[in-house]
């Protein structure tokens, strides 16, 4: 099992660093470009939610990212110390209504669950929030 870590401040300009970190490690793990793009989108959504909601755009919060992978799975864990949130209260989006109303944003949890094989969220209010995104490596 390989483990890699990255710690950045909660600033949108750090999203490209996070994308590069995920991309290079996913490539090393053996994923193809489409799978890597899906992971990057899911991680981007998770980190954007941390910046926007957990840290309320405060640039000094810390986002900790840990990647663990072996021959069967690739897990990206994103942790912060910001405001907690309960993903169970986020309703499944009505995508047709969403499209008709030309809405923007608000699909982060839906995208994470759709693009990844497993999404786990753990929060201890006042201590930390942690989301783990797992993609299984399907061998031919």
Supply the CATH number for residue 103's domain.
3.30.565.10
- pLDDT (0 to 100) of residue 82: 95
* Tally of domains in the chain: 1
Residue pLDDT tens, the chain, 140 long: 999 999 999 999 999 999 999 999 999 999 999 999 999 999 999 999 999 999 999 999 999 999 999 999 999 999 999 998 765 655 665 656 655 665 555 566 788 999 999 999 999 888 999 999 999 998 64
Q: Does residue 12 contact residue 50 with C-beta atoms inside 8 Å?
A: no
- Residue showing tokens 């640039």: 59
In which residue are the tokens 């663990």 written?
Answer: 68
Domain that holds residue 56: 2-136
Q: How far apart are CA 95 and CA 71, in angstroms?
A: 35
């Amino acid at each position: 099992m390989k483990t890699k870590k990255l710690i950045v401040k909660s600033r949108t300009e750090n999203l490209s660093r996070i994308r590069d970190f995920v991309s290079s490690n996913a490539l090393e793990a053996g994923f193809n470009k489409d799978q890597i793009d899906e992971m990057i989108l899911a991680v981007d959504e998770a980190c954007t939610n941390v910046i926007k909601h957990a840290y309320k755009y405060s640039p000094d919060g810390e986002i900790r990212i840990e990647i663990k992978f072996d021959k069967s799975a690739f897990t990206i864990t994103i942790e912060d110390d910001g405001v907690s949130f309960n993903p169970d209260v986020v309703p499944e989006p009505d995508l047709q209504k969403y499209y008709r109303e030309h809405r923007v944003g608000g699909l982060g949890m839906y995208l994470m669950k759709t693009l990844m094989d497993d999404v786990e969220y753990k929060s201890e209010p006042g201590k930390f929030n942690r989301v783990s995104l797992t993609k299984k490596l399907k061998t031919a």
